[in-house]
Structure 1
């Protein structure tokens, strides 16, 4: 079942490359047999010759977009579940977030925990802020370590500050303190979610919730835009393949056409990964980072197509 579920996932990623190679092979065969020359000799426009290929590439992109929303994330998640539970013999959903946990609690309180130790049921280096209805900060509490003891927290190294309206600050310190908070351990047990396991709608909802809790969503925003950009790689690579295939000399045969397609596909994949890496690092806006490969290769393909001799 694991391999059967992975087949559509792998095929989903390879379809754009397959579309480009198919386009190159089809046009290379027509060029080799002088079919394109014959059609142009009787007045058939080159654009009319390649228009069905462009339509096919765009249609494939729409199909991939729908699959990416309706089927692929679920298959990826199911395959990962089988891998974790049946192959690696682990419990499902055991990959918890253990660093930089943000949580919006009751009454607008915002928590930040630098580390979470699931085995010790402890949070390390915790800070939370309290606010009034006007979102003015009224208090800050810093705790070195919080340990869950069934129905309440054991706080160690507590420094609590209350900010008065007149500008004064009241400070309370305690080495150890037991306290009941509205948020128990389960509120901080945040299972890591991977963008590959969510469709566009789910990922957008997850980003909004994480951003509301104060989490870092820069990387996730790039992944969100990539979910729309990547399916259209089929249309972009088809567009790119057309002028390169038509302008190839008839010598070299099928092998040369395939080598050309693979080289273009690798170049596209490389630029796609570079764009996403820059987006994840905040060096590029998430939208531009996700669409960088499509914009560059689409522009190159369109330019070469327009300047083909008619």
Structure 2
């Protein structure tokens, strides 16, 4: 690697690191100023608060990593352009493609970091971040009930509940069905179901069990009955951030299990899975766009390049969020929702790069 490559690569990585070190403390300060009242009110231990902000750092660094990188590329490339260093490089016989090579090397290093972060480290941080938020920051908020939960627990068992309150661990109109092959063996009804934490059982009110044997129906009724079922409380209260807390291979297994259960949240889970690959790719795309728009010395200086870069970043985030929500809440294909912004901005990167070479 030549002196030019080392020079640009060091500036690339150093500016990116400085961008993280600048914005993450600002984010922590703003978040702490907003939530310090609830933290003190709910008496969150200092150790848990410290772990929360460590998780907060990893969680948002993973979420905003491409944007931080994009702004840092525009920042230091604009400085190179304003100092006429890029003109000197290109005038010495270096082609624009050759000038771009250290940027691609730097993008590869950051993309590998993003891949490891998204697949293995960010899920751990997301678990701690969300658990602290729901334990201390949303403790006194009214939690909405889940409604019309229908789940396939395994190959033979299905459950249904018309509504379930996570706060009270209490549901209404519970049904449990057990099949063997295509034959219904028994069915359990209850007006109410409540989770008992002491022994991890469920208390059923107005319990009715219908067993089907040899063409006969046996009916069993009790006013109240405690039972242990082969499903978890989370099956009645689907957690929205469940996919975010799982590593890549755990998430693959989780999605397959949820598909067998007929979960309505498959779109949300697949968006999380696909973004683990799309974010590293977006790093290359945004790096090329950043170099293309900031490698030209402009009359307005770095301010014009930064304004243009921030506008592109906002549009990218807008498309990413809009398509993500569409995939989560409709039948819009998750693979299209995740990769379409990269495709559109990839085309923009090629166009801007061709103009920059001229």
Calculate the TM-score normalised by the size of structure 1: 0.78
Match of 1:212 among 244, 257, 260: 260
Match of 1:232 among 276, 281, 298: 281
Deviations 1:142-184 (A, max 9, x none): 746134597775454869596998xxxx888898666676617
RCO higher in structure (CA 8 A, sep ≥6): 1
What are the equivalent positions in structure 2 for 1:78-117 lying under 5 Å apart? Answer: 78-85=128-135, 87-88=136-137, 98-104=146-152, 108-117=156-165
Count of residue pairs the alignment pairs up: 299
CA distance in 1, matches of 2:75, 2:137: 42
Measured at CA, do residues 203 and 99 of structure 1 come closer, stay the same or move farther in structure 2, by a change above 3 Å?
farther
Match of 1:146 among 192, 203, 219: 192
Does the alignment pair 1:258 with 2:306? Answer: yes
Residue equivalent to 1:286: 334
Match of 2:93 among 43, 67, 71: 43
Segments of 5+ residues of structure 1 without an aligned counterpart are none
Shift of 1:111: 1.3
Q: What CA RMSD, in Å, does the superposition of the two structures yield over aligned residues?
A: 3.8
Measured at CA, do residues 125 and 265 of structure 1 come closer, stay the same or move farther in structure 2, by a change above 3 Å?
same
Segments of 5+ residues of structure 2 without an aligned counterpart are 1-49
Shift of 1:280: 0.9
Deviations 1:10-39 (A, max 9, x none): 333333222212222333233334333333
Contact 2:153/2:231, CA 8 A, preserved across alignment? no
Residue equivalent to 2:112: 62
Higher helix share: 2
Contact 1:97/1:191, CA 8 A, preserved across alignment? no
CA distance in 2, matches of 1:280, 1:191: 14
Contact 1:138/1:164, CA 8 A, preserved across alignment? no
